[in-house]
Amino acid sequence: MEIRFDIGAESGHPHLPVLVNGQGPFIFTLDTGATATTISKSLAEKLGIRTYEGDKKMASGVGGGRVPVAFAKVDRLQIGTEVVENEEVLVIDFESAMGGVCFTAGVIGHSFLKNYVMSVNYPEKRIRLERTKGASSRRYKNVAWQEFQYVEDSHLISVPTYINGNGPFHLVVDTGSGGTVITPRIAQQLGFTEDQAVAAVRVANPTNRGCADGCQGVGGKAQAYGVQIDSVSVGPVTQENTIAAVIDLKVVSPRGELIRDGIIGYPFMKDLEVIIDYPNRRFAFLRTETASQSHIR
């Protein structure tokens, strides 16, 4: 199954059309960094979807703030021709949490994606989803796969990454991040200090927006600064002369402390086809024929 997507102008997030209970399409964010598929409170109200309390009543946002979380059962969730039924989703009031800016009707997260081989072709703005548990897909028979690792017991996937020739570090692949991130520990290891900050930092998740002096999220603001990176390499792909945000990810959420090295976000992936084979725990970053940015080689 293949569909087209748009890129959020403010966020760099893939935005794709989703049918919920046969209605829509509504615009959702594709977020490999999200645990579960989530719908906005306003969409639940619009479609008359009943919400209920679950084990998780609050979520942590950037800056440590707390945001109410509810649950709901969606009868039918459809992306292209792919359908899941009787799906439990999270419900969050994105609009109130973000003051009405930089949000979509929902988020497609790991709970949906875990059963698929997913290809996100950024230059062509095309997403492909294929169920191929076990056997390799013929479509990808010539792909040079690399293994990814789940971060501890989480949904987050990490890939071996070299920064300025050092590593490998284990950065999380996050289509819901508008920027590439390194943690203060890695910044220190690489010899960066806040005195070397070079530019405004912009890192966005599905429920936050970029800003010049930090990262604004559903729970508040986390301070960040940008550093100039000579090279970032994942597999055969190297990006040169880029800016990474230095952020203490522990303030993002309790899960943030699991990300010890950093995040691969939109600036690195925007000229690539990103393939994640969830069932077989492998990935590939491919240059595409339509990629035109000279800093990718």
| Residue 218, pLDDT score | 44
Question: Helical H runs in 92-176?
Answer: 94-98, 110-113
| Residue 251, pLDDT score | 67
The answer, yes or no, to whether residue 213 has pLDDT greater than 50, is no
Give the residue-averaged pLDDT of 229-235.
96
| Residue 216, pLDDT score | 44
Q: What b/e sequence results for 168-178 when a residue is b if at least 16 CB atoms lie within 10 Å of its CB, and e otherwise? A: ebbbbbbbbbb
Q: Who has greater pLDDT, 74 or 104?
A: 74
| Residue 249, pLDDT score | 81
Q: What b/e sequence results for 50-72 when a residue is b if at least 16 CB atoms lie within 10 Å of its CB, and e otherwise? A: ebeeeeeeebbbbbebebebbbb
| Residue 56, pLDDT score | 64
The answer, yes or no, to whether residue 42 has pLDDT greater than 80, is yes
Q: How confident is the model at residue 217 (pLDDT cuts 50, 70, 90)?
A: very low
| Residue 171, pLDDT score | 97
Taking the C-alpha atoms of residue 75 and residue 177, their distance in angstroms, rounded to an integer, is 29
Give the residue-averaged pLDDT of 28-44.
92
| Residue 288, pLDDT score | 76
Q: Tell me how far the alpha carbon of residue 194 is from its chain's centroid.
A: 26
Give the residue-averaged pLDDT of 182-209.
71
Q: What percent of the chain has pLDDT over 70?
A: 78
The mean-pLDDT minimum among 22-31, 98-107, 211-220 falls in 211-220
pLDDT in tens, 80-98: 999 999 999 999 887 765 5
Q: Who has greater pLDDT, 257 or 290?
A: 257
Asked whether 166 and 191 are in contact (CB, 8 A), the reply is no
Q: Tell me the pairing of strands 117-121 and 272-277.
A: antiparallel
Give the residue-averaged pLDDT of 205-222.
43
Domains in the chain (CATH in brackets) are 2-131 (2.40.70.10), 135-291 (2.40.70.10)
The answer, yes or no, to whether residue 290 has pLDDT greater than 50, is no
The answer, yes or no, to whether residue 293 has pLDDT greater than 50, is no
The answer, yes or no, to whether residue 220 has pLDDT greater than 50, is no
Q: Who has greater pLDDT, 79 or 61?
A: 79
Give the residue-averaged pLDDT of 47-66.
68
Q: What is the mean pLDDT of the chain?
A: 83
Helices (H) and strands (E) in the chain, counts: 5, 26
Give the residue-averaged pLDDT of 27-39.
92
Q: How confident is the model at residue 248 (pLDDT cuts 50, 70, 90)?
A: confident
* pTM summary value: 0.86
Give the residue-averaged pLDDT of 260-282.
95
